[in-house]
Amino acid sequence: MVYFVVDKKIKFLLVLLGITFGVSFLLSEFATFADSDKDSIMDSIDNCPLNVNSDQADFDFDGVGDECDTNDDNDMVSDYLDQFDTDPLDWSDFDFDGVGSNKDTDDDNDGILDVDDSTPLLSSEILTIKYLQDIDTCAYMGDSTSRLVCYSQFFGKLVKSEKNNLDALELSIALSKIGTVDDCHFISHEIGHVAYDETRDVTKSLQGMDGTMCRGGYFHGVLASYFHNIGKSEASFPNSYQTICDDLIGSSNYQDCIHGLGHGFVHYFGDDLNSSLESCDDLSFYQDILCVKGVMMQYTDNAFTRDGISKNVISNLCNAKQLEKNDYVECSMSTGTTLAFFTNHDFEKGKELCNLIEEPDTRNYCIEGLRLEIQDSEKYEDDPLTKENREKFQPQFIKGTKTIDIRSPAVVSNFEFIPEIGMISFSIDKPQYVILYIPKEFVASKMLVTVNGQIPGQLESQNNVLDKDIAMIKFVPDEPGLVLISPFS
Protein backbone atom coordinates (compact mmCIF):
# COMPACT_ATOMS: atom_id res chain seq x y z
CA MET A 1 0.00 0.00 0.00
CA VAL A 2 1.32 3.40 -0.97
CA TYR A 3 0.49 6.49 1.03
CA PHE A 4 0.56 10.05 -0.30
CA VAL A 5 1.26 13.00 1.92
CA VAL A 6 -0.78 16.00 0.86
CA ASP A 7 0.57 19.46 1.65
CA LYS A 8 -1.84 21.63 3.68
CA LYS A 9 -1.90 24.31 0.95
CA ILE A 10 -2.72 21.75 -1.72
CA LYS A 11 -5.39 20.24 0.50
CA PHE A 12 -6.95 23.71 0.94
CA LEU A 13 -6.95 24.28 -2.81
CA LEU A 14 -8.62 20.92 -3.42
CA VAL A 15 -11.34 21.72 -0.89
CA LEU A 16 -11.86 25.19 -2.44
CA LEU A 17 -12.04 23.65 -5.90
CA GLY A 18 -14.73 21.28 -4.69
CA ILE A 19 -16.77 24.12 -3.19
CA THR A 20 -16.44 26.20 -6.38
CA PHE A 21 -17.52 23.27 -8.51
CA GLY A 22 -20.51 22.74 -6.24
CA VAL A 23 -21.54 26.41 -6.38
CA SER A 24 -21.16 26.45 -10.15
CA PHE A 25 -23.27 23.33 -10.41
CA LEU A 26 -25.97 24.87 -8.21
CA LEU A 27 -25.92 28.11 -10.23
CA SER A 28 -26.27 26.23 -13.49
CA GLU A 29 -29.17 24.26 -12.05
CA PHE A 30 -30.78 27.51 -10.83
CA ALA A 31 -30.34 29.08 -14.26
CA THR A 32 -32.08 26.11 -15.80
CA PHE A 33 -35.19 26.71 -13.68
CA ALA A 34 -35.03 30.57 -13.57
CA ASP A 35 -38.13 32.52 -14.64
CA SER A 36 -37.16 36.20 -14.81
CA ASP A 37 -40.54 37.53 -15.97
CA LYS A 38 -42.56 35.24 -13.64
CA ASP A 39 -44.81 33.98 -16.43
CA SER A 40 -44.35 30.30 -15.50
CA ILE A 41 -42.10 29.72 -18.53
CA MET A 42 -38.47 28.95 -17.68
CA ASP A 43 -35.94 31.39 -19.19
CA SER A 44 -34.16 28.54 -20.95
CA ILE A 45 -37.20 27.89 -23.15
CA ASP A 46 -38.98 31.31 -22.92
CA ASN A 47 -38.98 33.15 -26.27
CA CYS A 48 -39.30 36.42 -24.33
CA PRO A 49 -37.56 35.80 -20.99
CA LEU A 50 -37.92 39.39 -19.79
CA ASN A 51 -41.49 39.99 -21.00
CA VAL A 52 -44.58 38.26 -19.65
CA ASN A 53 -45.96 36.11 -22.50
CA SER A 54 -47.31 32.86 -21.16
CA ASP A 55 -48.92 32.14 -24.55
CA GLN A 56 -45.44 32.25 -26.22
CA ALA A 57 -47.01 33.85 -29.32
CA ASP A 58 -44.52 34.21 -32.20
CA PHE A 59 -46.34 35.33 -35.34
CA ASP A 60 -43.37 35.19 -37.69
CA PHE A 61 -41.85 32.04 -36.12
CA ASP A 62 -38.44 33.65 -35.80
CA GLY A 63 -37.86 32.39 -32.26
CA VAL A 64 -38.52 35.81 -30.72
CA GLY A 65 -41.91 36.17 -29.04
CA ASP A 66 -44.30 38.91 -30.16
CA GLU A 67 -44.02 40.68 -26.79
CA CYS A 68 -40.34 41.45 -27.36
CA ASP A 69 -40.13 41.26 -31.17
CA THR A 70 -39.79 44.74 -32.69
CA ASN A 71 -40.97 43.43 -36.07
CA ASP A 72 -43.67 40.81 -35.62
CA ASP A 73 -44.32 40.20 -39.31
CA ASN A 74 -40.75 40.54 -40.63
CA ASP A 75 -41.75 43.11 -43.27
CA MET A 76 -38.69 45.37 -42.69
CA VAL A 77 -40.83 47.98 -40.88
CA SER A 78 -40.62 47.97 -37.09
CA ASP A 79 -43.75 47.63 -34.99
CA TYR A 80 -43.19 51.19 -33.74
CA LEU A 81 -44.30 52.42 -37.18
CA ASP A 82 -46.19 49.40 -38.51
CA GLN A 83 -49.93 49.95 -38.22
CA PHE A 84 -50.51 46.34 -39.30
CA ASP A 85 -47.78 44.47 -37.45
CA THR A 86 -49.24 41.03 -38.16
CA ASP A 87 -49.70 41.63 -41.87
CA PRO A 88 -46.45 41.41 -43.87
CA LEU A 89 -48.18 42.94 -46.92
CA ASP A 90 -49.26 46.20 -45.23
CA TRP A 91 -47.75 48.61 -42.72
CA SER A 92 -49.13 52.10 -43.49
CA ASP A 93 -52.51 53.81 -43.22
CA PHE A 94 -51.90 57.54 -43.35
CA ASP A 95 -55.51 58.49 -44.08
CA PHE A 96 -56.44 56.50 -40.94
CA ASP A 97 -59.43 54.78 -42.52
CA GLY A 98 -58.45 51.34 -41.22
CA VAL A 99 -57.39 50.07 -44.66
CA GLY A 100 -53.68 49.54 -45.35
CA SER A 101 -52.13 51.42 -48.25
CA ASN A 102 -51.50 48.20 -50.17
CA LYS A 103 -55.24 47.43 -50.20
CA ASP A 104 -56.62 50.99 -50.13
CA THR A 105 -57.84 52.17 -53.52
CA ASP A 106 -57.87 55.83 -52.38
CA ASP A 107 -54.89 56.37 -50.09
CA ASP A 108 -55.45 60.08 -49.49
CA ASN A 109 -59.26 59.94 -49.17
CA ASP A 110 -59.73 62.72 -51.71
CA GLY A 111 -62.46 60.88 -53.62
CA ILE A 112 -60.17 60.14 -56.57
CA LEU A 113 -59.07 56.53 -56.98
CA ASP A 114 -55.32 56.00 -56.84
CA VAL A 115 -55.25 54.71 -60.43
CA ASP A 116 -56.61 58.08 -61.61
CA ASP A 117 -54.88 60.29 -59.03
CA SER A 118 -51.70 62.11 -60.05
CA THR A 119 -50.76 62.41 -56.35
CA PRO A 120 -52.32 59.34 -54.69
CA LEU A 121 -50.29 59.48 -51.45
CA LEU A 122 -50.49 62.00 -48.64
CA SER A 123 -47.34 64.02 -47.97
CA SER A 124 -46.99 62.34 -44.57
CA GLU A 125 -46.76 58.89 -46.18
CA ILE A 126 -44.33 60.08 -48.86
CA LEU A 127 -42.02 61.58 -46.25
CA THR A 128 -42.26 58.54 -43.98
CA ILE A 129 -41.20 56.26 -46.84
CA LYS A 130 -38.37 58.60 -47.78
CA TYR A 131 -37.04 58.98 -44.22
CA LEU A 132 -38.12 55.62 -42.83
CA GLN A 133 -34.75 54.80 -41.27
CA ASP A 134 -34.45 58.17 -39.50
CA ILE A 135 -37.98 57.99 -38.14
CA ASP A 136 -37.53 54.38 -37.04
CA THR A 137 -34.35 55.30 -35.16
CA CYS A 138 -36.21 57.90 -33.12
CA ALA A 139 -39.28 55.70 -32.60
CA TYR A 140 -37.08 52.90 -31.21
CA MET A 141 -35.83 55.05 -28.33
CA GLY A 142 -37.54 53.99 -25.11
CA ASP A 143 -36.86 57.14 -23.11
CA SER A 144 -39.45 59.82 -23.97
CA THR A 145 -36.98 62.72 -23.55
CA SER A 146 -34.37 61.09 -25.80
CA ARG A 147 -37.05 60.31 -28.36
CA LEU A 148 -38.26 63.91 -28.31
CA VAL A 149 -34.73 65.25 -28.82
CA CYS A 150 -34.19 62.78 -31.67
CA TYR A 151 -37.38 63.83 -33.42
CA SER A 152 -36.59 67.52 -32.91
CA GLN A 153 -33.26 67.06 -34.66
CA PHE A 154 -34.84 65.01 -37.43
CA PHE A 155 -37.60 67.53 -38.14
CA GLY A 156 -35.06 70.36 -38.10
CA LYS A 157 -33.14 68.63 -40.88
CA LEU A 158 -36.40 67.84 -42.67
CA VAL A 159 -37.42 71.51 -42.86
CA LYS A 160 -34.06 72.41 -44.38
CA SER A 161 -34.15 69.68 -47.00
CA GLU A 162 -37.84 69.63 -47.96
CA LYS A 163 -38.73 73.35 -47.79
CA ASN A 164 -42.44 72.64 -47.25
CA ASN A 165 -43.31 73.37 -43.64
CA LEU A 166 -46.94 72.29 -43.98
CA ASP A 167 -45.80 68.84 -45.07
CA ALA A 168 -43.49 68.63 -42.06
CA LEU A 169 -46.38 69.48 -39.75
CA GLU A 170 -48.62 66.92 -41.46
CA LEU A 171 -45.94 64.29 -40.85
CA SER A 172 -45.64 65.22 -37.17
CA ILE A 173 -49.43 64.95 -36.77
CA ALA A 174 -49.49 61.54 -38.48
CA LEU A 175 -46.68 60.21 -36.28
CA SER A 176 -48.45 61.47 -33.16
CA LYS A 177 -51.61 59.63 -34.22
CA ILE A 178 -49.61 56.45 -34.76
CA GLY A 179 -48.07 56.94 -31.33
CA THR A 180 -44.40 57.26 -32.22
CA VAL A 181 -44.46 60.98 -31.35
CA ASP A 182 -45.82 61.89 -27.92
CA ASP A 183 -47.43 65.16 -29.05
CA CYS A 184 -46.72 67.09 -32.22
CA HIS A 185 -46.99 70.45 -30.42
CA PHE A 186 -43.42 70.34 -29.14
CA ILE A 187 -42.09 68.99 -32.45
CA SER A 188 -43.83 71.83 -34.29
CA HIS A 189 -41.85 74.28 -32.13
CA GLU A 190 -38.67 72.95 -33.73
CA ILE A 191 -40.20 73.13 -37.21
CA GLY A 192 -41.01 76.80 -36.54
CA HIS A 193 -37.51 77.49 -35.18
CA VAL A 194 -35.80 76.19 -38.29
CA ALA A 195 -38.38 77.73 -40.63
CA TYR A 196 -37.60 81.20 -39.29
CA ASP A 197 -33.85 80.57 -39.45
CA GLU A 198 -34.32 79.76 -43.13
CA THR A 199 -36.30 82.92 -43.97
CA ARG A 200 -35.31 85.41 -41.22
CA ASP A 201 -38.76 86.94 -41.75
CA VAL A 202 -41.65 86.41 -39.30
CA THR A 203 -44.42 87.33 -41.75
CA LYS A 204 -42.98 85.17 -44.50
CA SER A 205 -42.54 82.22 -42.12
CA LEU A 206 -46.15 82.44 -40.90
CA GLN A 207 -47.73 83.14 -44.27
CA GLY A 208 -50.07 80.37 -45.41
CA MET A 209 -49.61 78.34 -42.23
CA ASP A 210 -52.47 76.98 -40.12
CA GLY A 211 -52.43 77.66 -36.38
CA THR A 212 -54.86 74.78 -35.76
CA MET A 213 -52.11 72.31 -36.64
CA CYS A 214 -50.40 70.96 -33.51
CA ARG A 215 -52.19 73.62 -31.45
CA GLY A 216 -50.11 76.53 -32.72
CA GLY A 217 -46.68 75.15 -31.86
CA TYR A 218 -45.25 76.21 -35.23
CA PHE A 219 -46.16 79.85 -34.54
CA HIS A 220 -44.59 79.67 -31.10
CA GLY A 221 -41.40 78.31 -32.62
CA VAL A 222 -41.17 81.05 -35.26
CA LEU A 223 -41.53 83.84 -32.68
CA ALA A 224 -39.11 82.13 -30.29
CA SER A 225 -36.49 81.89 -33.02
CA TYR A 226 -37.05 85.53 -34.03
CA PHE A 227 -36.32 86.83 -30.53
CA HIS A 228 -33.55 84.30 -29.95
CA ASN A 229 -31.68 85.61 -32.98
CA ILE A 230 -32.15 89.22 -31.85
CA GLY A 231 -30.72 88.36 -28.44
CA LYS A 232 -27.88 86.35 -29.94
CA SER A 233 -26.86 89.31 -32.11
CA GLU A 234 -27.01 91.55 -28.99
CA ALA A 235 -29.47 93.86 -30.74
CA SER A 236 -31.84 95.94 -28.63
CA PHE A 237 -35.31 94.68 -27.79
CA PRO A 238 -37.60 95.56 -30.76
CA ASN A 239 -40.15 98.30 -30.03
CA SER A 240 -42.27 96.97 -32.88
CA TYR A 241 -43.09 93.73 -31.08
CA GLN A 242 -46.61 94.95 -30.21
CA THR A 243 -47.57 95.02 -33.89
CA ILE A 244 -45.57 92.06 -35.21
CA CYS A 245 -48.70 89.85 -35.29
CA ASP A 246 -51.11 92.48 -36.64
CA ASP A 247 -51.30 90.94 -40.12
CA LEU A 248 -53.09 87.98 -38.51
CA ILE A 249 -55.79 89.97 -36.68
CA GLY A 250 -59.22 88.48 -37.33
CA SER A 251 -57.85 85.03 -38.12
CA SER A 252 -57.66 82.02 -35.84
CA ASN A 253 -53.86 82.26 -36.05
CA TYR A 254 -53.63 85.58 -34.22
CA GLN A 255 -53.86 84.01 -30.75
CA ASP A 256 -51.04 81.61 -31.54
CA CYS A 257 -48.85 84.46 -32.72
CA ILE A 258 -49.45 86.50 -29.53
CA HIS A 259 -48.83 83.40 -27.40
CA GLY A 260 -45.62 82.90 -29.38
CA LEU A 261 -44.44 86.35 -28.29
CA GLY A 262 -44.23 85.01 -24.74
CA HIS A 263 -42.00 82.15 -25.86
CA GLY A 264 -39.87 84.68 -27.73
CA PHE A 265 -39.48 87.01 -24.76
CA VAL A 266 -37.96 84.22 -22.66
CA HIS A 267 -35.56 83.42 -25.49
CA TYR A 268 -34.48 87.07 -25.47
CA PHE A 269 -34.40 87.81 -21.73
CA GLY A 270 -33.34 84.34 -20.56
CA ASP A 271 -33.65 83.90 -16.79
CA ASP A 272 -34.86 87.49 -16.33
CA LEU A 273 -38.48 86.45 -15.93
CA ASN A 274 -39.67 89.90 -14.79
CA SER A 275 -38.57 91.55 -18.05
CA SER A 276 -40.53 88.99 -20.06
CA LEU A 277 -43.64 89.53 -17.93
CA GLU A 278 -43.31 93.33 -18.12
CA SER A 279 -43.21 93.09 -21.93
CA CYS A 280 -46.45 91.10 -21.84
CA ASP A 281 -48.03 93.67 -19.49
CA ASP A 282 -47.58 96.39 -22.12
CA LEU A 283 -50.01 94.55 -24.40
CA SER A 284 -53.80 94.67 -24.21
CA PHE A 285 -55.64 92.69 -21.52
CA TYR A 286 -56.24 89.45 -23.43
CA GLN A 287 -52.96 89.74 -25.32
CA ASP A 288 -51.28 89.84 -21.91
CA ILE A 289 -53.04 86.63 -20.84
CA LEU A 290 -51.95 84.78 -23.99
CA CYS A 291 -48.43 86.18 -23.78
CA VAL A 292 -47.92 85.20 -20.11
CA LYS A 293 -48.98 81.64 -20.95
CA GLY A 294 -46.23 81.54 -23.57
CA VAL A 295 -43.69 83.01 -21.15
CA MET A 296 -44.41 80.44 -18.47
CA MET A 297 -44.43 77.48 -20.86
CA GLN A 298 -40.99 78.45 -22.17
CA TYR A 299 -39.68 79.35 -18.72
CA THR A 300 -40.66 76.00 -17.18
CA ASP A 301 -39.42 74.06 -20.21
CA ASN A 302 -36.04 75.82 -20.04
CA ALA A 303 -35.73 75.04 -16.34
CA PHE A 304 -36.47 71.32 -16.69
CA THR A 305 -34.28 70.96 -19.76
CA ARG A 306 -31.37 72.74 -18.09
CA ASP A 307 -31.64 71.58 -14.48
CA GLY A 308 -33.57 68.31 -14.71
CA ILE A 309 -36.72 67.47 -12.76
CA SER A 310 -36.10 67.15 -9.05
CA LYS A 311 -37.96 68.12 -5.86
CA ASN A 312 -35.75 71.18 -5.45
CA VAL A 313 -36.14 72.39 -9.04
CA ILE A 314 -39.88 71.81 -9.32
CA SER A 315 -40.65 73.29 -5.87
CA ASN A 316 -38.81 76.56 -6.52
CA LEU A 317 -39.96 77.38 -10.05
CA CYS A 318 -42.99 79.47 -9.09
CA ASN A 319 -42.73 81.75 -6.07
CA ALA A 320 -46.03 83.22 -4.90
CA LYS A 321 -44.20 85.97 -2.99
CA GLN A 322 -42.18 87.14 -6.00
CA LEU A 323 -44.87 86.92 -8.68
CA GLU A 324 -48.21 88.67 -9.10
CA LYS A 325 -51.09 86.37 -8.26
CA ASN A 326 -52.14 85.69 -11.84
CA ASP A 327 -48.56 85.17 -12.99
CA TYR A 328 -47.97 82.77 -10.11
CA VAL A 329 -51.07 80.74 -10.99
CA GLU A 330 -50.06 80.58 -14.66
CA CYS A 331 -46.50 79.57 -13.74
CA SER A 332 -47.78 76.77 -11.52
CA MET A 333 -50.22 75.49 -14.16
CA SER A 334 -47.57 75.72 -16.87
CA THR A 335 -45.36 73.52 -14.71
CA GLY A 336 -47.99 70.82 -15.11
CA THR A 337 -48.35 71.57 -18.82
CA THR A 338 -44.61 71.17 -19.37
CA LEU A 339 -44.44 68.01 -17.26
CA ALA A 340 -47.00 66.46 -19.63
CA PHE A 341 -44.46 66.72 -22.44
CA PHE A 342 -41.66 65.33 -20.27
CA THR A 343 -43.74 62.29 -19.25
CA ASN A 344 -45.21 61.30 -22.61
CA HIS A 345 -48.57 62.78 -21.55
CA ASP A 346 -48.91 60.17 -18.82
CA PHE A 347 -51.16 61.67 -16.14
CA GLU A 348 -50.05 59.37 -13.30
CA LYS A 349 -46.34 59.96 -13.97
CA GLY A 350 -46.91 63.70 -14.26
CA LYS A 351 -48.99 63.81 -11.10
CA GLU A 352 -46.23 61.97 -9.24
CA LEU A 353 -43.83 64.77 -10.20
CA CYS A 354 -46.34 67.52 -9.30
CA ASN A 355 -46.64 65.91 -5.87
CA LEU A 356 -42.97 66.66 -5.26
CA ILE A 357 -43.99 70.32 -4.82
CA GLU A 358 -44.20 71.18 -1.13
CA GLU A 359 -46.56 74.18 -1.36
CA PRO A 360 -50.18 72.85 -1.59
CA ASP A 361 -51.59 75.54 -3.93
CA THR A 362 -48.66 75.27 -6.32
CA ARG A 363 -49.00 71.49 -6.30
CA ASN A 364 -52.73 71.62 -7.06
CA TYR A 365 -52.28 74.16 -9.87
CA CYS A 366 -49.56 71.93 -11.32
CA ILE A 367 -51.89 68.92 -11.38
CA GLU A 368 -54.66 71.02 -12.95
CA GLY A 369 -52.30 72.28 -15.68
CA LEU A 370 -51.21 68.70 -16.34
CA ARG A 371 -54.82 67.52 -16.59
CA LEU A 372 -55.86 70.30 -18.97
CA GLU A 373 -52.89 69.74 -21.27
CA ILE A 374 -53.60 66.02 -21.56
CA GLN A 375 -57.31 66.75 -22.06
CA ASP A 376 -56.59 69.32 -24.80
CA SER A 377 -54.15 66.96 -26.48
CA GLU A 378 -56.65 64.11 -26.57
CA LYS A 379 -59.43 66.40 -27.77
CA TYR A 380 -57.22 67.69 -30.56
CA GLU A 381 -56.34 64.21 -31.75
CA ASP A 382 -59.94 62.96 -31.63
CA ASP A 383 -61.77 66.00 -32.98
CA PRO A 384 -59.56 68.79 -34.33
CA LEU A 385 -61.32 72.12 -34.66
CA THR A 386 -61.86 73.46 -38.14
CA LYS A 387 -60.78 77.00 -38.98
CA GLU A 388 -64.44 78.05 -39.08
CA ASN A 389 -65.21 76.86 -35.55
CA ARG A 390 -61.98 77.91 -33.92
CA GLU A 391 -62.09 80.95 -31.70
CA LYS A 392 -60.73 84.13 -33.26
CA PHE A 393 -59.15 86.93 -31.23
CA GLN A 394 -60.24 90.24 -32.77
CA PRO A 395 -58.93 93.29 -30.84
CA GLN A 396 -60.46 96.68 -31.58
CA PHE A 397 -58.08 99.59 -31.00
CA ILE A 398 -59.49 102.70 -29.35
CA LYS A 399 -57.74 106.07 -29.02
CA GLY A 400 -54.43 104.63 -30.12
CA THR A 401 -53.45 102.94 -26.86
CA LYS A 402 -56.67 101.45 -25.45
CA THR A 403 -58.08 98.21 -26.78
CA ILE A 404 -61.38 96.36 -26.56
CA ASP A 405 -60.55 92.67 -26.94
CA ILE A 406 -63.14 90.40 -28.57
CA ARG A 407 -63.06 86.60 -28.66
CA SER A 408 -65.48 84.67 -30.84
CA PRO A 409 -65.66 82.01 -33.56
CA ALA A 410 -67.89 84.52 -35.37
CA VAL A 411 -66.30 87.22 -37.52
CA VAL A 412 -66.67 90.71 -36.07
CA SER A 413 -67.13 93.57 -38.56
CA ASN A 414 -68.21 97.22 -38.70
CA PHE A 415 -66.95 97.85 -35.17
CA GLU A 416 -67.62 101.32 -33.78
CA PHE A 417 -67.20 102.92 -30.36
CA ILE A 418 -69.03 106.18 -29.70
CA PRO A 419 -67.38 107.67 -26.56
CA GLU A 420 -69.91 110.54 -26.24
CA ILE A 421 -72.66 108.10 -25.31
CA GLY A 422 -70.48 105.14 -24.33
CA MET A 423 -71.96 102.82 -26.96
CA ILE A 424 -70.28 99.93 -28.74
CA SER A 425 -71.68 98.46 -31.95
CA PHE A 426 -70.53 95.74 -34.35
CA SER A 427 -71.85 92.93 -36.53
CA ILE A 428 -71.35 89.17 -36.24
CA ASP A 429 -71.74 86.72 -39.12
CA LYS A 430 -73.07 83.69 -37.19
CA PRO A 431 -74.72 82.87 -33.86
CA GLN A 432 -71.59 81.93 -31.89
CA TYR A 433 -70.52 83.03 -28.41
CA VAL A 434 -68.91 86.45 -28.05
CA ILE A 435 -66.63 87.54 -25.19
CA LEU A 436 -65.55 91.17 -24.76
CA TYR A 437 -62.90 92.60 -22.40
CA ILE A 438 -63.52 96.33 -22.07
CA PRO A 439 -61.46 98.92 -20.14
CA LYS A 440 -63.63 100.12 -17.24
CA GLU A 441 -63.42 103.72 -18.45
CA PHE A 442 -65.47 102.73 -21.51
CA VAL A 443 -68.40 101.12 -19.67
CA ALA A 444 -71.09 102.24 -17.25
CA SER A 445 -72.03 100.34 -14.12
CA LYS A 446 -74.91 98.79 -16.08
CA MET A 447 -74.83 97.98 -19.79
CA LEU A 448 -77.64 96.83 -22.09
CA VAL A 449 -76.69 94.16 -24.67
CA THR A 450 -78.91 93.48 -27.68
CA VAL A 451 -78.53 91.50 -30.91
CA ASN A 452 -80.88 92.76 -33.60
CA GLY A 453 -82.78 94.55 -30.84
CA GLN A 454 -83.25 91.43 -28.71
CA ILE A 455 -81.51 90.68 -25.41
CA PRO A 456 -79.64 87.37 -25.81
CA GLY A 457 -80.78 84.57 -23.51
CA GLN A 458 -77.27 83.59 -22.39
CA LEU A 459 -75.72 86.75 -21.00
CA GLU A 460 -73.23 87.32 -18.20
CA SER A 461 -70.91 90.09 -17.08
CA GLN A 462 -68.10 90.62 -14.59
CA ASN A 463 -66.22 93.63 -13.23
CA ASN A 464 -62.51 93.78 -12.40
CA VAL A 465 -61.51 90.63 -14.26
CA LEU A 466 -58.35 89.15 -12.72
CA ASP A 467 -58.27 92.15 -10.35
CA LYS A 468 -57.70 94.55 -13.25
CA ASP A 469 -59.78 97.54 -14.38
CA ILE A 470 -61.39 95.42 -17.06
CA ALA A 471 -65.05 94.50 -17.49
CA MET A 472 -66.08 91.27 -19.19
CA ILE A 473 -69.30 90.76 -21.15
CA LYS A 474 -70.19 87.35 -22.58
CA PHE A 475 -73.28 86.39 -24.54
CA VAL A 476 -74.54 83.78 -26.99
CA PRO A 477 -76.84 85.23 -29.69
CA ASP A 478 -79.72 83.35 -31.26
CA GLU A 479 -78.88 84.69 -34.70
CA PRO A 480 -76.23 86.72 -36.55
CA GLY A 481 -76.66 90.46 -36.92
CA LEU A 482 -76.07 93.84 -35.25
CA VAL A 483 -74.79 93.93 -31.66
CA LEU A 484 -75.37 97.07 -29.56
CA ILE A 485 -73.86 97.55 -26.08
CA SER A 486 -74.92 100.76 -24.38
CA PRO A 487 -75.28 102.28 -20.86
CA PHE A 488 -78.44 101.29 -19.06
CA SER A 489 -79.96 103.05 -16.07
Q: What is the pLDDT of residues 376-420, one digit of tens each?
A: 877 654 445 566 678 899 999 987 678 999 999 999 999 999 988
Mean pLDDT of 71-81: 74
Given this model, what pLDDT does residue 57 score?
A: 76
Q: How many CB atoms are closer than 10 A to CB 107? A: 23
What confidence tens digit (pLDDT) does each residue in 280-309 have?
A: 999 999 999 999 999 999 999 999 989 999
3 state DSSP class of 475: strand
In DSSP terms, 407 is beta-bridged to: 393, 435
Q: For 132-146, 274-288, 341-355, 376-390, which range has the lowest pLDDT when averaged over its residues?
A: 376-390
Given this model, what pLDDT does residue 38 score?
A: 73
The answer to whether residue 322 scores a pLDDT higher than 80 is yes
Give the confidence band of 344 by pLDDT, cuts at 50, 70, 90.
confident
pTM: 0.77
Give the confidence band of 27 by pLDDT, cuts at 50, 70, 90.
very low
What confidence tens digit (pLDDT) does each residue in 6-17 have?
A: 454 544 443 444
Given this model, what pLDDT does residue 264 score?
A: 95
Distance between CA atoms of residues 339 and 354, nearest Å: 8
Given this model, what pLDDT does residue 402 score?
A: 86
Helices 325-342 and 347-354: crossing angle, nearest 10°? 130
Distance between CA atoms of residues 323 and 426, nearest Å: 37
Give the confidence band of 86 by pLDDT, cuts at 50, 70, 90.
confident
Distance between CA atoms of residues 169 and 110, nearest Å: 19
Give the confidence band of 157 by pLDDT, cuts at 50, 70, 90.
very high
Distance between CA atoms of residues 40 and 46, nearest Å: 9
The per-residue pLDDT of the chain, averaged, comes to 86
CB 354 within 8 A of CB 320: no
Given this model, what pLDDT does residue 37 score?
A: 62
Most confident listed range (31-45, 180-194, 284-298) = 284-298
448 vs 42, more confident: 448
Q: What is the DSSP letter of 31?
A: H
Q: Checking phi first, is residue 247 left (phi over 0); if not, alpha (psi -120 to 50) or beta?
A: alpha
Distance between CA atoms of residues 464 and 466, nearest Å: 6
Distance between CA atoms of residues 489 and 487, nearest Å: 7
End-to-end CA distance of the chain: 131
